[in-house]
Amino acid sequence: MKQKPPKVMRSANGRSGGETHQTTTSDKQALTTNQGVPIADNQNSLKGGVRGPTLLEDFVLREKITHFDHERIPERIVHARGSGAHGYFQPLKNLSRLTRASFLQDPSKRTKVFVRFSTVAGGAGSVDTPRDVRGFAVKFYTDEGNFDLVGNNIPVFFIQDAMKFPDLVHSVKMEPDRGFPQSASAHDTFWDFVSLMPESMHMLMWAMSDRGIPRSLRHIEGFGVHTFRLVNAKGVSTFVKFHWRPGLGMASTLWDEAVKIAGADPDYHRRDLWQAIDSGDFPEWTLNIQAFDQVTADELDFDILDPTKIIPEETIPLTPIGRMVLTANPVNFFAETEQIAFHPGHIVPGIDFTPDPLLQGRLFSYLDTQLSRLGGPNFHEIPINRPVCPMRNFQRDGHMRMNLQPGRVNFEPSSLDPGSPRENPVRGFSSFPDPEGGPKLRQRPATFADHYSQARQFWRSMTPPEQGHIVNAFTFELSKVETPAIRKRMLGHLDLVEPALGKRVAAAMGMTGQAERLMPAVTPRDDLPPSPALSIVAKTLETLKGRTVAALVTDGSDAALLQKVRLAVRKEGGQLEVVAPRIGAPKDGIVPDRQLDGAPSCLFDALVVLPSRDGARELLGAAAAVDWLRDGFAHLKAIGFSGDAGPLLAKAGIEADPALGVVALDGSRGLDAFLAAARKYKIWDRERLVRPQP
């Protein structure tokens, strides 16, 4: 980012850049603190300079977030529904050139980790598959203390400043007067908020894309979101963005598929992760970084401190630095997955912060939340949170204190106990001396004001099917909004993101020509090239590894053919589950894994239909069997079938067509053709038949 004078763009109501709805406020309407002090700016935290760090003296921010952090007990306010696992991290090379962090030095050294994946908006009892952001938090138990990389499966966020975080979450949570909808953003309060926050547009594009409805937790990417620093032993700082890449590649569901999975198995993602680890099919990710210096940061045409922006991989490629493998499920869900306490302020020597205003607020908020959720300041003594390295300090007592610390000295300096802990200027953590600074103010830099250009780049980076899904997602969400003015306002934003997007959503809702005309603070750029790395479809791996094929059988099915399919799927790294009309005593040597009524095809990645002739006649009268095939076809899954399945396919309205992934298993090449189709995960050429795009 080229250096610019520290000017700011502010509207009359104190916001920066792009807001079009200003109001006047009487004394009776004045927003105040809980002490009655009128608030002049509810949009920006107090910083030391326009790009400087957030100041601890900001009592408005602290009061607002403190109250927000303590609103619910004991469930997490956000990320309440989570699934976790133990594993290890191992660096791929020595990174001493970039950082002094000890766990990144030795490629032969493994560091214990615990990972928690989560949805954001729903409560602990909500389902796994709503359209939502997924949390991706990793606790590294290093020999220099715990390091928490607390991120999401999307690299940007809705807001630029932590001051707005309580407002964002309040808007997306259940509406306070009615207590619904649960775990859903398709309602007035959320879209009212984001339609008044142009900075949310980039994140909305990601959330409305297929990233919001992943196939499983094993198929998601992870991001640190913010720009951090790596600092080496010489004190040299390098900016860094953290990226997790799944070994299985990325995969998502379709919206109709996600909805049906929620009804068929609310614990779909949790069960998938547990079963994979339990069976020894350990999920893994590669940790990658985008590392760059101040000179490079100055040359970028956006601000690296803005959490609503990404650095395209085509601009700064990813560098793999480590591998993480999850190898063990929790022994006790509550004691581990529920009580683990993540905090972006848990860092180790060699890793440091930047004055990103969203990150700065998180550094306060997470610690404050743990005090409420886990009962007091000693949450670090709970086994799942306890560092593996020694803890030595003079903190004493407090609720649920467990460590027994002998002696009379609980202060420093002291001469009474020469063996008591002392500061270590050599090995101890020292903050990087960031040169940013300036007057105390509540403003955002002008470099944060472009809210549409990267959102447009994201749209143009999607394949046609993915663009169609984004259109459908916006259409579904906005059609649930009861207030016409909010729908019109959002259509105005979509016109600014990409006119074609706005027109397609408006047409799908019957609101052509009704978009509110909005004036952006910065005209969206039209010259940003597409970034193929942003597309799920473009990066999907052609593999059956980590995927499940379902075989629908009946009495009299060909056991030899079933075994042939099973062995072929297993050889590809996948697994096969047998579905039958009844799960009772096996016949013909075939043992069902699931009963048809409880195993809809949305739970599987590919299908084979192997009924006997008499069994096919029986299935013709079973709605579950016909829907099993119809849904599989509509959800773009590869379908293999034996000759006796012909009448069942005909009733479901499905014709054999290898080009569309409907493959007869008869003959020497039939199974190979089916496997080739199943490796693709989705048969995108079929979508034009089942889901014409608006």
- Does a cis peptide bond (omega within 30 degrees of 0) precede residue 499? no
The catalytic residue among 13, 21, 70, 79 is: 79
Residue 468 vs residues 504, 509, 607: alpha-carbon distances, Å = 9, 14, 25
What gap in Å lies between CA 500 and CA 484, rounded to an integer? 21
End-to-end CA distance of the chain: 38
Closest CA to 359 of 187, 212, 163: 163
Would you mind telling me the total number of residues written for the chain in this entry? Answer: 694
CA 244, CA 224: separation in Å to the nearest integer?
9
In the three-class reduction of DSSP (H, G, I as helix; E, B as strand; rest coil), residue 528 is classed as: coil
Report the 10 Å Cβ neighbour count for 88.
17
Active-site residue flag, 410: no
> 346 catalytic, yes or no?
no
Write down the catalytic residue from 21, 34, 44, 152.
152
Helices (H), 572-651: 613-620, 623-634, 646-651
* Number of other CB atoms surrounding residue 384 within 10 Å: 20
Q: How far is CA 415 from CA 264, 391, 392, 405, 452, in A?
A: 66, 21, 17, 18, 61
DSSP 8-state symbol, 587: B
Query: Measured in whole angstroms, how far is the alpha carbon of residue 176 from the centre of its chain?
Result: 25
Residue carrying structure tokens 């603190």: 33
Q: Report how far residue 227's alpha carbon sits from residue 237's, in angstroms, rounded to the nearest whole number.
A: 12
Cβ atoms of 340 and 374 closer than 8 Å: no
In 3D space, the residue among 680, 657, 654, 555 whose CA is nearest the CA of residue 611 turns out to be 555
CA distance 299 to 227: 16
Catalytic residue numbers read 79, 152
